C-alpha cells in the first residue's frame, strides 16, 4: 500500500505572512534566479527534530526515504522509522549504532551497524523488525567494527567496513579483506558503476565478481574522498582536506581530475566536507564537520550557507538525503533537520531582525523597506551564502503602517505622524496626528490624503515642507486603508476607503474641479459583511477583502450599489467565506493572500480562478 508521507512545516510568523503578500515577486523569483536573489533571501523553511521528539540518541548517521514514504534514520542507538507524525524505534540485534542504510524497491531496509549487518522484515503484526545477517558471515570475518556504507545494487547488497567489503547476493556472502594500512574509505554508485575508494590504491570498480582499479583511479589513492556527485557534463568529487575536484572519465583516457581553486575551496578544506548530494535544481549540498551545510552551484559558486546561525541544529552534518517532495534531510550530530531547499519561499522573522508584525513593504531607491509595529527596517543583503537580515532605519521608533512614494521622496504613516526619508534617516514632517494610511489624491497629484483617528486629512508640500490643508471632505471615521482608481469614462476618479468596523467609503471626484466630490457609505445593507474591509485591486478593478472572502462592487446609480462574491473566485472553494484582510496582485496576474494557516495564490485559467497554497502549522 502506498503511503503519502505527511510533513510538518515550521510555524510561520505574522511578520513573514504580511511581507510575502505585499511583495510576492521577491519570493517567487528566489528559485528561478538563485544567484541574483540569493543575497536577498531570508531563512529557509526548516523543521528540526530533537532527541526529545524521536526518543533516541542525539546523533544520526544516515537518512533515506522508502518507496511507501516512510523515513528511516540510522541513529547511534537504533534505527528510527518516521511516518511524518509518529516515530518508532527498531533495535539492531546487538543494540549498536546504525552507521549506514539503503532501501530496495520492495521497501526492505538494509542496515550496516557495528559488528552487525542485516535487513528489516515485517513481524506478525506487520511492523518491521531487524534480521541479522551475521550468521551468514564466515567465522573468520565476523569481527569488522563499523559498517560505514551500505548500498543496494544490481549485483547484490554491499556492506563496506574499513578492512572488509561484504556482498550479499542470492543468499551467499562474499568477502574482500584488505590490510588496515590500505583500508576501504568510501563507496559510490554512479554512472561509472559500483565504486570503492581504497587508501593507497585508488578508485576500484566492481566487475564480474572482482574489484578492479579504474583507469586513472590511482589519482585518488591519497585523497580522503567524502562525496561524489554526478553533474550534467562532469562529476564533482569532494574530499575531506583537499577541497573540490572536477572529474571526467572516458574509456580511452580514463579518469581525469581538475582541482577547483578559489576561496570556497580553501573554506571547504577548513570546514572538512563529509557528505554531499545533488538537490532537485541541480545544485549541490555539502555537509561538513565544522560548518553545517554549504549549497554550491555545479561550477563551484557558494549559493547558501545553512548552519546554527540560520537555524540548523548542529555544525556537524553526518548525512544528507532528498525526499520525494524534493526537500533536504540532514542527519546531524545533534538531531535531524528537514530543509525546504530549493524553495521559492524564505522566512523573515525575529532571527532576521523583525521583532514585530510587518504592515507594509516597499522597494525604494534599490532598497527594500519594511514597516513594522516597532519601526521601519531596511533589508541588508546576505554575504558569503548567509541569509539577508533587516536593520532598523534610524530616526523613527514607533508603530509604522503604510509607505507612499511621492515623486522622489518616501513617506510613511506612523503613530507619531507623517515622516519623510531623507539621506537614509526618517525625519518628521511636522504633521503629528496618529496616521494609519495615506494615498495620493486621484485628481490633485500634489495632494495626499491621510487616514487619522476619526478624521480624513489632506496635506500638500509647499516650499519643501508638508502642511495640512483644508479638506473638501468631512469624514469623521478612522480609515485603515485607501486605494484610488480613475473612472473608465475618464470624467471621474474614485478613492475607496476601508475601515475596521464601519464598512467602506467611496469618494468620487469629478475631473471638473468646480464640482464637489461625492461621498458614499457602504455597509451590510449593501451586502458588505460586517468587520474589516480591505480595498485593493485585481485586474485593474477595485476589489475588497472581507470577512467572507473577496468581493466586487456593482454600481446601481451614482451613489448606490451592492457587493457580491466573484463567482469565478467562489469556484476556488478553499477561500470561499474566509476572512481576507489583505491581498496583492503581482505582475503575472497572480493574486497572493494569507488565510488562517496558509499562504495562497489565486491563478486565473480562462474564466475561473484556481487556488494553490502551502500549509503552515
Tens of pLDDT, residues 309-359: 999 999 999 999 999 999 999 999 999 999 999 998 899 999 999 989 999
Q: What is the pTM of this model?
A: 0.86
Q: Among 8-12, 111-115, 268-272, which is the least confidently predicted range?
A: 8-12
Contacts of 285 (CB under 8 A, 6+ apart): 276, 277, 278, 279, 293, 294, 295, 320, 328, 341
Q: What is the pLDDT of residue 21?
A: 37
Peptide bond just before 342 cis, omega within 30 deg: yes
Does residue 569 surpass a pLDDT of 90? no
Long-range pairs for 370-374 at CB < 8 Å and ≥24 separation? 370/19, 371/400, 371/401, 371/402, 371/403, 371/412, 372/15, 372/400, 373/399, 373/400, 374/399
Q: How confident is the model at residue 515 (pLDDT cuts 50, 70, 90)?
A: confident
**Average pLDDT in the 248-268 region?**
94
Q: Alpha-carbon distance 489 to 466, whole Å?
A: 33
Stretch 608-615: mean pLDDT, rounded?
Answer: 74
Q: What is the mean pLDDT of residues 22-46?
A: 56
C-alpha cell at 144: 569488522
Q: Name the residue ranges covered by the structural domains of the chain.
A: 46-177
Interval 170-182: pLDDT, tens: 999 999 999 999 9
The whole-number pLDDT of residue 82 equals 99
- Region of residue 304 (phi > 0: left; psi between -120 and 50: alpha; otherwise: beta): beta
pLDDT at residue 516 in the model: 87
% of the chain exceeding 90 in pLDDT = 78
pLDDT in tens, 353-372: 998 999 999 999 999 999 99
Q: Where are the beta strands (DSSP E) in 67-214?
A: 71-75, 79-82, 87-90, 100-103, 109-112, 117-122, 128-132, 149-153, 156-160, 164-169, 172-177, 184-190, 193-198, 202-207, 210-213
**Burial class (CB within 10 angstroms; exposed 0-12, middle 13-18, buried 19+) of 573:** exposed
| Average model confidence (pLDDT) across the chain | 90
Mean pLDDT for the stretch of residues 35-63 = 91
d(C-alpha 433, C-alpha 456), whole Å: 11
The number of residues in the chain equals 617
pLDDT of 17: 41
Place of cell 552507521: 99
Mean predicted confidence (pLDDT) in 68-83: 98
DSSP state of 393: P
Strands 172-177 and 164-169: antiparallel
Q: State yes or no: pLDDT of 421 exceeds 70.
A: yes
Place of cell 500634489: 446
Q: How confident is the model at residue 514 (pLDDT cuts 50, 70, 90)?
A: confident
**Rounded distance, CA 615 to CA 394, Å?**
36
Instruction: Of 104-113, 547-556, 576-585, give the lowest mean pLDDT range.
Output: 576-585
User: Nearest Cα to 488, choosing from 540, 425, 550, 410?
Assistant: 540
Q: What is the pLDDT of residue 215?
A: 97
> Is pLDDT larger for residue 33 or for residue 164?
164
Lowest mean pLDDT among 94-108, 373-387, 550-564: 550-564
Task: Using alpha carbons, select from 471, 447, 472 the residue that is nearest to residue 461.
Answer: 447
Per-residue pLDDT tens digits for 588-608: 999 998 876 777 888 888 878
Q: For position 576, what pLDDT does the model report?
A: 60
pLDDT digit string (tens) for 220-257? 999 999 999 999 999 999 999 999 999 999 999 999 99
Instruction: Give 523-526 contacts, CB < 8 A, sequence gap 24+.
Output: 526/560, 526/561, 526/562, 526/563
Query: What is residue 13's predicted lDDT score, i.e. its pLDDT?
Result: 37
- pLDDT at residue 574, rounded to an integer: 60
> Using CA atoms, how far apart are residues 394 and 337, in angstroms rounded to an integer?
37
Q: Quick one: what percent of the chain has pLDDT higher than 70?
A: 92
Distance from chain centroid for Cα 222 = 39
Residue identified by cell 512614494 is 405
Instruction: Identify the residue with better confidence: 35 or 423.
Output: 423
SS3 262: coil
Secondary structure, 3-state, 283-351: CEEEEECCCCEEEECCCCCEEEEECHHHCCCCCCEEEEEECCCCCEEEEECCEEEEECCCCCCCECCHH
Residue 83, SS3? coil
Distance, CA of 211 to CA of 178 (rounded, Å):
12
Whether 549 has a pLDDT exceeding 90, the answer reads no
Give domain 46-177's CATH number out of 1.10.3720.10, 2.130.10.10, 3.40.50.720, 1.10.10.60: 2.130.10.10
The pLDDT confidence band at residue 524, using thresholds 50, 70 and 90, is very high
Q: Specify the DSSP element, H or E, that contains 568.
A: helix 567-570
Dihedral angle of Cα 268, 271, 272, 277, to the nearest 10 degrees: -70
Between 437 and 28, name the one with better pLDDT.
437
CA distance 54 to 67: 21
Question: How deeply is 599 buried, as exposed, middle or buried, from its count of CB atoms within 10 A (0-12, 13-18, 19+)?
Answer: buried
User: pLDDT band at 272, cuts 50/70/90?
Assistant: very high
Amino acid at each position: 500500500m502506498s503511503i503519502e508521507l505527511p510533513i510538518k512545516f515550521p510555524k510561520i510568523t505574522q511578520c513573514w505572512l504580511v511581507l510575502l503578500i505585499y511583495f510576492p515577486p521577491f519570493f517567487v523569483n528566489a528559485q528561478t534566479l538563485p544567484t541574483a536573489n540569493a543575497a536577498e533571501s531570508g531563512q529557509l523553511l526548516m523543521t528540526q527534530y530533537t532527541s526529545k521528539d524521536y526518543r533516541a540518541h542525539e546523533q544520526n548517521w544516515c537518512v533515506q526515504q522508502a518507496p511507501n514514504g516512510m523515513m528511516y534514520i540510522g541513529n547511534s542507538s537504533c534505527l528510527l522509522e518516521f511516518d511524518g507524525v509518529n516515530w518508532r524505534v527498531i533495535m539492531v540485534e546487538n543494540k549498536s549504532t546504525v552507521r549506514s542504510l539503503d532501501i530496495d524497491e520492495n521497501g526492505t531496509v538494509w542496515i550496516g551497524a557495528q559488528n552487525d549487518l542485516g535487513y528489516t522484515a515485517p513481524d506478525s503484526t506487520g511492523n518491521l523488525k531487524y534480521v541479522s545477517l551475521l550468521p551468514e558471515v564466515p567465522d573468520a570475518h565476523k569481527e569488522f567494527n563499523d559498517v560505514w556504507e551500505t548500498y543496494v545494487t544490481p549485483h547484490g547488497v554491499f556492506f563496506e567496513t574499513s578492512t572488509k567489503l561484504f556482498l550479499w547476493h542470492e543468499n551467499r556472502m562474499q568477502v574482500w579483506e584488505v590490510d588496515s594500512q590500505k583500508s576501504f574509505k568510501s563507496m559510490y554508485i554512479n554512472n561509472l558503476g559500483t565504486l570503492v575508494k581504497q587508501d593507497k590504491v585508488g578508485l576500484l570498480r566492481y566487475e564480474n565478481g572482482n574489484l578492479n582499479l579504474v583507469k586513472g583511479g590511482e589519482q585518488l589513492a591519497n585523497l580522503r574522498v567524502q562525496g561524489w556527485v554526478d553533474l550534467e557534463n562532469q562529476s564533482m568529487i569532494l574530499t575531506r582536506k583537499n577541497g573540490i575536484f572536477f572529474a571526467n572519465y572516458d574509456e580511452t583516457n580514463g579518469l581525469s581530475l581538475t582541482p577547483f581553486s578559489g576561496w570556497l575551496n580553501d573554506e571547504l578544506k577548513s570546514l572538512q566536507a563529509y557528505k554531499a548530494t545533488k538537490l532537485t535544481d541541480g545544485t549541490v549540498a555539502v555537509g561538513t564537520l565544522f560548518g553545517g551545510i554549504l549549497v554550491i552551484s555545479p561550477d563551484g559558486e557558494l549559493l547558501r550557507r545553512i548552519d546554527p546561525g540560520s537555524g540548523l541544529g548542529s555544525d556537524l552534518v553526518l548525512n544528507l538525503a532528498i525526499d520525494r517532495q524534493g526537500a533536504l534531510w540532514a542527519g546531524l550530530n545533534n538531531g535531524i533537520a528537514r530543509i525546504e531547499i530549493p524553495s521559492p519561499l524564505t522566512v523573515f522573522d525575529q532571527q532576521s531582525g523583525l521583532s514585530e508584525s510587518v504592515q507594509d513593504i516597499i522597494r525604494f531607491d534599490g532598497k527594500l523597506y519594511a514597516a513594522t509595529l516597532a519601526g521601519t527596517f531596511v533589508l541588508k543583503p546576505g554575504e558569503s551564502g548567509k541569509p539577508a537580515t533587516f536593520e532598523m532605519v534610524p530616526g523613527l521608533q514607533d508603530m509604522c503602517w503604510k509607505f507612499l512614494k511621492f515623486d522622489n521622496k518616501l513617506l510613511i504613516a506612523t503613530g507619531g505622524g507623517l515622516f519623510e526619508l531623507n539621506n537614509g534617516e526618517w525625519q518628521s514632517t511636522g504633521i503629528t496626528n496618529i496616521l494609519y494610511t495615506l494615498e495620493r489624491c486621484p485628481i490633485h497629484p500634489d495632494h495626499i490624503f491621510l487616514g487619522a483617528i476619526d478624521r480624513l486629512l489632506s496635506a500638500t508640500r509647499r516650499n519643501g515642507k508638508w502642511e495640512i490643508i483644508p479638506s473638501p471632505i468631512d469624514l469623521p471615521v478612522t480609515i485603515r486603508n485607501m486605494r484610488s482608481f480613475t473612472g473608465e469614462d475618464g470624467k471621474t476618479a474614485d478613492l475607496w476607503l476601508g475601515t475596521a468596523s464601519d464598512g467602506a467609503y467611496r469618494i468620487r471626484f469629478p475631473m471638473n474641479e468646480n464640482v464637489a466630490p461625492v461621498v458614499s457609505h457602504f455597509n451590510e445593507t449593501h451586502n458588505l459583511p460586517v468587520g474589516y474591509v480591505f480595498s485593493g485591486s485585481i485586474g485593474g478593478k477595485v476589489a475588497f477583502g472581507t470577512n467572507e472572502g473577496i468581493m466586487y462592487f456593482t454600481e446601481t446609480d451614482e451613489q448606490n450599489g451592492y457587493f457580491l462574491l466573484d463567482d469565478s473566485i467562489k469556484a476556488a472553494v478553499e477561500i470561499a467565506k474566509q476572512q481576507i484582510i489583505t491581498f496583492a496582485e503581482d505582475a503575472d496576474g497572480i493574486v497572493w493572500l494569507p488565510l488562517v494557516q496558509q499562504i495562497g495564490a489565486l491563478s486565473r485559467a480562462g474564466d475561473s480562478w484556481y487556488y494553490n497554497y502551502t500549509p503552515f502549522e
